[in-house]
Amino acid sequence: MAVKRFSRTIQEINQKIKQGKVVVLTAQEMTDVVKQEGTEKAARKVDVVTTGTFAPMCSSGAFINFGHTKPAIKAAKVWLNDVPAYAGLAAVDIFIGATEPTEDDPLNRVHPGQFQYGGGHVLHDLLAGKAVRLRATAYGTDCYPNRKISKKIGLADLPYAVLLNPRNAYQNYNCAVNLSNKTIYTYMGVLKPKAGNANYSTSGHLSPLLNDPYYLTMGMGTRIFLGGAKGYIIGPGTQHSPGVKRSKGGAPVTPAGNLMVMGNLKEMDPRWLMGVSMVGYGCSMALGIGVPIPVLNEEIARFTGVSDAELFTQIIDYGNDYPKGDAVSLGQVSYAELKSGMITFRGQNIHTVPLSSHTRALEIANILKGWIEKGDFFLTEPQVMLPTVDRN
Amino acid sequence: MYTKMLSLRFPPSAVNEPIITNLIRKFDLECNILKAVIYPRKEGLAVMEISGHRKNYHRGLHYLRSMGIKVESIAEDIKRDDEKCYQCGACTAVCPTGALYIERPAMAVVFDKDKCSACELCVVACPARAMEVKFNKSLLD
Ligand code: SF4
Ligand code: SF4
């Protein structure tokens, strides 16, 4: 006899949000419920699971229109607080990237460079209500004769400012060690010689894409928490690669999917978008993202119930292998081991170091939960799903 | 890059030496002078920030001491700006004393000032630059 499987739709969930009857759990809470009550009961009980991540996300930036000037200018080169922005767009449109340092930054000339200020810091300053110096130069045309402008602008002065990040929220990432004999300074943080520490950067069981490993609920148009406001997934990220090795539970054991996201910068909060300086590496931006996962069926309940002990990543040597382009796995570790503070690698106990903020990730999952419970946030139906692979 | 804020006390014999020029030219260091005075007895005091490669910094310091100059760090202590700190844990990679550590299972990053040796290693290792060096400002008055 065929048993009718439990399922619900996004419309039904939104109806419950409207009625104030929706049941929302954070991914951390869901892990416990699934463990205690099983997937079927959990699926019936829980409508939405909220996730979160807060970490440096380099592939980020903003499209800004700074408004026409008098006399008019077709800006060819543009700087915001001396950070160059891409101006190869229409007259007063620019894109400012999170990792762009100030033009006169000493970079790594004295190694390791400090990278004090960059594009991510500009966006944070704008959100924090600070005015930034806009400078632009131009060659001058009949319709846009102005050749030079310099003025202070604040976020409120900008006719348009949208965060548009080509690649965020990596589903899983490497665990970095350094097998060389000297300290190295990488995008994975400071790595001491001879595997002195092991750095990792995901929020594990709270991570958006690790709770929906096959992207069954996410796609273009999914409404999310982005930088403290509501934003959207607009497609796969620039290195979205679903076809990697996965564990029995379905989660990839190496870096896999990622998201392209966008949201109105003007609605965001400086707490959830911060400029960062990775010593010896460069500028970047730490960003908060949270994705609500509708529990459409039992399978999704099982996925969202995943625990750190069931999520794995590979140990990679950033001292020799990675820079050569020959990254090979030196071993697999679970996030439960990584979060314990110590892993055993080649018979040696290594201190582990997170780069992704667990407390902030949990805070995001809770904020998103609150928004949904209060009826401030409705789920959207993704219009185009992300590329995926067959489930095993 | 290595940066230190130092106070330099010059004996009268060193006051007329081109010390800063030598630090810049011979040791490839950057010097940012915040204060320089010569007292009536021809003794001098300078407060300055010196930065450059760690090796050059130590060679430069050796040179200063060989000139009879008393060099002291004016860093008083380290404090964390909790507005900036986003509780990642990156600083725990470099902290030698365990003053910065992670409280489990909440994964909160704690700064225990009593254990801090003011080595300043966390200052640049922190992506948010939340760890700040407090200076003895009385020297600048
Ligand atoms: S590295 Fe900086 S932001 Fe991260 S926990 Fe340490 S002090 Fe806070
Ligand atoms: S100054 Fe040194 S001892 Fe103090 S917290 Fe920073 S790294 Fe640790």
| A373/A368 Cα distance (integer angstroms) | 9
Q: Do A190 and B88 touch (CB under 8 A)?
A: no
Do B29 and B8 meet the contact criterion of CB atoms below 8 Å apart?
A: no
Whether residue A287 is contained in a domain is answered as yes
Number of domains chain A is built from: 2
- Which of A203, A173, A167 has its CA nearest to residue A188? A173
Of ligand 1's atoms, which has the minimum distance to the CA of residue B131? Answer: 7
Residue A340 sits at φ, ψ, to 5 deg, of -70, -20
Q: Do B92 and A340 touch (CB under 8 A)?
A: no
CATH 3.90.79.10 matches B2-73: no
| A154/A98 Cα distance (integer angstroms) | 18
Element (H, E) at A165: strand A160-168
Residue A328 CA to ligand 1 centre (angstroms):
29
Domain hosting A226: range is 166-292+305-385
| A32/A306 Cα distance (integer angstroms) | 9
Whether residue A27 is contained in a domain is answered as no
The pair of three-digit structure tokens given for residue A33, joined into one six-digit string = 């419920």
Which single residue is written with the structure tokens 């002078």? B33
Last residue in a domain, options A144, A163, A182: A163
- pTM, entire model: 0.90
Residue B122 CA to ligand 2 centre (angstroms):
6
Which single residue is written with the structure tokens 């273009």? A220
Residue B85 CA to ligand 1 centre (angstroms):
5
Q: Do B90 and A277 touch (CB under 8 A)?
A: no
The pair of three-digit structure tokens given for residue A245, joined into one six-digit string = 């090795």
The pair of three-digit structure tokens given for residue B106, joined into one six-digit string = 């909440």
Q: Do A197 and A124 reside in the same domain of the chain?
A: no
Active site residue A58: no
B96 to A350, A372, B73, B82, B116: CA distances (angstroms): 14, 43, 19, 21, 9
Q: Do A205 and A94 reside in the same domain of the chain?
A: no
Q: Please tell me which of the candidates B1, B90, B93 has its beta carbon nearest to residue A113.
A: B1
Q: What is the pLDDT at residue A3?
A: 62
Give me the tens of pLDDT residue by residue for chain A, a chain 392 residues long. Answer: 556 689 999 999 999 999 999 999 999 999 999 999 999 999 999 999 999 999 999 999 999 999 999 999 999 999 999 999 999 999 999 999 999 999 999 999 989 999 999 999 999 999 999 999 999 999 999 999 999 999 999 999 999 999 999 999 999 999 999 999 999 999 999 999 999 999 999 999 999 999 999 999 999 999 999 999 999 999 999 999 999 999 999 999 999 999 999 999 999 999 999 999 999 999 999 999 999 999 999 999 999 999 999 999 999 999 999 999 999 999 999 999 999 999 999 999 999 999 999 999 999 999 999 999 999 999 999 999 999 999 96
Enumerate the CATH 3.30.70.20 domain ranges in chain B, comma separated. 80-132
Whether residue A14 is contained in a domain is answered as no
- Which of B62, B131, B53 has its CA nearest to residue B93? B131
Do B47 and B32 meet the contact criterion of CB atoms below 8 Å apart?
A: no
Determine which residue's CA is closest to atom 7 belonging to ligand 2.
Answer: B95
Q: Which residue of A has its CA nearest to B82?
A: A271
| A184/B96 Cα distance (integer angstroms) | 17
Q: Do A208 and A337 reside in the same domain of the chain?
A: yes
Q: Please tell me which of the candidates B84, B107, B124 has its beta carbon nearest to residue A279.
A: B124
Residue B137 pLDDT level (bands cut at 50, 70, 90): confident
Q: Do A128 and A200 reside in the same domain of the chain?
A: no
User: In chain A, which residues have their Cβ closer than 8 Å to the Cβ of B102?
Assistant: 341, 354
Query: At residue B115, does pLDDT exceed 80?
Result: yes
Q: Does A340 lie at the interface with B, CB-CB under 8 angstroms?
A: yes
Q: Do B87 and A278 touch (CB under 8 A)?
A: no
Q: Do A87 and A180 reside in the same domain of the chain?
A: no
Q: What residues does A287 pair with on adjacent strands?
A: A55, A273
CATH number given to B80-132: 3.30.70.20
**Beta strand extents in A279-371 (DSSP E only):** 282-290, 292-294, 312-317, 332-334, 342-345, 348-354
Q: Do A320 and A218 reside in the same domain of the chain?
A: yes
Do A41 and A259 meet the contact criterion of CB atoms below 8 Å apart?
A: no
Last residue in a domain, options A163, A187, A208: A163
Residue A10 sits at φ, ψ, to 5 deg, of -65, -35
Q: Which string of DSSP letters, residue by residue, matches A123-163?
A: HHHHHTT--EEEEEE----SS--B-EEEEEE-GGG-SEEEE
Average pLDDT, chain B: 89
Q: What residues does A84 pair with on adjacent strands?
A: A79
Of ligand 1's atoms, which has the minimum distance to the CA of residue B90? Answer: 1
User: Hey, how many other C-beta atoms are within 10 angstroms of the C-beta on A76?
Assistant: 14
Q: Does A56 lie at the interface with B, CB-CB under 8 angstroms?
A: yes
Of ligand 1's atoms, which has the minimum distance to the CA of residue B80? Answer: 7
Residue B10 CA to ligand 2 centre (angstroms):
30
Determine which residue's CA is closest to atom 6 belonging to ligand 2.
Answer: B122
Enumerate the CATH 3.30.70.260 domain ranges in chain B, comma separated. 2-73
| A88/A76 Cα distance (integer angstroms) | 7
Q: Do A183 and A311 reside in the same domain of the chain?
A: yes
Q: Do B90 and A355 touch (CB under 8 A)?
A: yes
Residue B19 pLDDT level (bands cut at 50, 70, 90): confident
User: In chain B, which residues have their Cβ closer than 8 Å to the Cβ of A114?
Assistant: 1, 124
Determine the average pLDDT of the residues in B104-131: 93
Q: What is the pLDDT at residue B33?
A: 87
Do B123 and B133 meet the contact criterion of CB atoms below 8 Å apart?
A: yes
Q: Is A206 helix (H, G, I), strand (E, B) or coil?
A: helix
Apex B14 CA angle, B12 and B15, nearest 5? 70
Ligand 2 contact via B10 beta carbon (within 6 Å): no
| A235/A218 Cα distance (integer angstroms) | 9
Q: Does A194 lie at the interface with B, CB-CB under 8 angstroms?
A: no
Q: Which string of DSSP letters, residue by residue, matches chain B?
A: -EEEEEEEEE-GGGTTS-HHHHHHHTT--EEEEEEEEE-TTS-EEEEEEEEE-HHHHHHHHHHHHHTT-EEEE-EEEEEE-TTT-----GGGGT-SSSSEEEETTTTEEEE-GGG-----HHHHH-TT--EEEEE-GGGG-
Q: Do A340 and A356 reside in the same domain of the chain?
A: yes
User: In chain A, which residues have their Cβ closer than 8 Å to the Cβ of B89?
Assistant: 353-355, 357
Q: Fill in the DSSP letter of residue A113.
A: P
| A124/A277 Cα distance (integer angstroms) | 13
Residue B44 pLDDT level (bands cut at 50, 70, 90): confident
Output the CA torsion A36→A40→A43→A46 (10° steps).
-40
Helices A358-374 and A27-45 sit at what angle, rounded to 10 degrees?
Answer: 40
Buried b (16+ CB within 10 A) or exposed e, A345-365: beeeebebbbbbbbbbbbbbb
Last residue in a domain, options A163, A182, A215: A163
Residue B128 CA to ligand 1 centre (angstroms):
7
* Neighbouring residues of A55: CB distance < 8 A, sequence distance ≥ 6: A201, A202, A203, A286, A287, A355, A356, A357, B88
Q: Do A247 and A330 reside in the same domain of the chain?
A: yes
- Spell out which residues line ligand 1, taking CB within 6 angstroms: B 80, 85-91, 100, 109, 126-128, 130-131
Query: At residue B69, does pLDDT exceed 80?
Result: yes
